[in-house]
Structure 1
Amino acid sequence: MTQQFDPDFGLTAQDYSRHRAGFPPRLVERLTAAGLTLSERDVLDVGTGTGSLARLCAQAGARVTGLDPAASLLEQAAELDREAGVKVDYRVATAEETGLPDASFDVVTAGQCWHWFDAPKAAAEVRRLLRPTGVVVIAHFDWLPLPGNLVAATEELITSYNPEWTMGGGTGLYPRWLTDLATAGFGGIETFSFDLDVPYTPEAWVGRIRASAGVGASLPPEQVARFTDDLTRVLADRFPGEVLAVPHRTWAVTATAPTR
């Protein structure tokens, strides 16, 4: 029996906080345009990590609670919140067992994390936590590997160091999550996406990749150090420049909880 790939993002807290680009504000703009107003709403962000999506919701005027099993990530999230001038109530818990009261939120969000959950349990927990006709938002913000680009070269290097990492080659689209939500009884399922380039310095891109599941969250420190050197050389040799334009796709699905 093969061992399950089980990264520990708590190991990457510093890089995750410093280098991982957060969700773009345009995500909230698109949610608002779709009829989901966050101001004065009670929002729960599960798998919050360093609070990227939670912060966006708080900046939009929501009352936000953020959950994550990694306390070290929540410490970084709180520091980033202080710098941003917002307040989120962070708690250590999982998406499958939040320990929170029934029907206590208007919106539940999950940013860049649904693939790590036990989907049936997480969807059932989200449904329990939402008030009638409350909304769940599952969102992703993914780099895009295109033939010959720096993302594809980066993914090739990750795989050479960590063959168990099988998350490369993505399109930033997640149709399976629609099935998860429909199976749990959610309705009004809709999706949207948009692409944009994210500027990274070479150093920041290396730091961002160290914070990923296939590197800092799963490799021993000595391999992470060698990977850092190798990726730095790849960027200098093949993608020189002070600023790298890294293509990303934002994708989201929204769905409505059934009335009780």
Structure 2
Amino acid sequence: MEIKNSSIDSGKAFDWGKTSADYAKYRDIYPDIFYKKILDRNLCIAGQNVLDLGTGTGVLPRNMYQYGAKWVGTDIAENQIMQARKMSEELNQKIEYLNVPTEELNFPDQTFDVITACQCFWYFDHKKVTPLLARMLKKDGSLLVLYMAWLPFEDRIAGESEKLVLKYSPHWSGAGETIHPITVPDCVLDIFTPVFHEEYEVDVPFTRESWNGRMKACRGVGASLSAGEVTKWEKEHRAMLEKIAPEQFTIRHYAAMLELKQKV
């Protein structure tokens, strides 16, 4: 499903469904510490019902399924949900996936112990979504916002790759990341209060192929360019990597988490 938001990429339309195959193959890259940090907060564990918003191909529920929580994943893009179902079924995981916009979710009151939003919270209509999430969360439940991004000013390969994305998508607003806490709109803070946040650096391993695939599956390339443009970008990116990157390398990232609870 095509999405347009004036505050993202200057309103250029994007559709995660266009890049679902690459997303499934190349974007399951969170390191073990990413999940450990969640577990350290006693979140997404046995005995808890968890709703994962913007689940994409189900990366978060699939990787945390082993810790015993009961998961539901939702996403606006049908192709993403199709990939999520396929991959979870192959692992014999009982995860419910729904193709529905977050703004239209209608679970009963106090259904979930935890609601997660990984790499997606800024895409929502927060004025509509925030009271909806509060209603579906149990009274002491947690809203957990998660994020991870490469650091273009600290990592040459990431920086040069980012420049190439901007060559093809000059209005892409995903460029120039630096380490900072996750922030949420004031309307969210009217109902929820932050109780914990953490930011930390991680080195994520890649090969030339997997980094090319990871970059191709970003919003500024696979989700928004035409098929012809994606092919040209991919060819140019592969040539660039042959010049500046060894066959195996790491990319410096930072990860962040923000846990919120409802105001009493």
TM-score, normalization by structure 2? 0.90
Is 1:196 the counterpart of 2:202? The answer is: yes
Q: Deviations over 1:222-249 (max 9, x none)?
A: 110000010001111122x111211121
Query: What's 1:91 paired with?
Result: 98
1:22·1:53 contact (CA, 8 Å) conserved in 2?
A: no
Is 1:247 the counterpart of 2:248? The answer is: no
Is 1:235 the counterpart of 2:260? The answer is: no
Is 1:38 the counterpart of 2:42? The answer is: no
Name the CA shift for 1:122/1:231 in 2 (closer, same or farther; >3 Å).
Answer: same
Give the number of aligned pairs.
Answer: 256
**Aligned pair partner of 1:206 in 190, 206, 212:** 212
| Cα RMSD, aligned residues only | 1.9
1:15·1:207 contact (CA, 8 Å) conserved in 2?
A: yes
Q: Which structure 1 residue ranges, 5 or more long, are not aligned?
A: none
CA-CA distance at 1:24 after TM superposition: 3.0
1:141·1:172 contact (CA, 8 Å) conserved in 2?
A: no
Query: What's 1:79 paired with?
Result: 86
Between the aligned partners of 2:187 and 2:237, the Cα distance in structure 1 is 36
- Calculate percent identity across the aligned residue pairs: 30
CA-CA distance at 1:147 after TM superposition: 4.8
CA-CA distance at 1:108 after TM superposition: 0.3
CA-CA distance at 1:174 after TM superposition: 4.5
Q: Which structure 2 residue ranges, 5 or more long, are not aligned?
A: 1-5
SS of the equivalent of 1:217 reads coil
Matches within 5 A, 1:1-260: 4-36=11-43, 38-147=45-154, 149-177=156-184, 179=186, 181-183=188-190, 185-239=191-245, 241-259=246-264
Q: Deviations over 1:156-193 (max 9, x none)?
A: 0000111121210012534422745322x213521012
CA-CA distance at 1:82 after TM superposition: 3.1
TM-score, normalization by structure 1? 0.91
Between the aligned partners of 2:32 and 2:47, the Cα distance in structure 1 is 18
Amino acid at match of 1:160: K
Amino acid at match of 2:206: Y
Between the aligned partners of 1:172 and 1:93, the Cα distance in structure 2 is 32
Q: Deviations over 1:201-225 (max 9, x none)?
A: 1111111111110001100011100
2:182·2:257 contact (CA, 8 Å) conserved in 1?
A: no
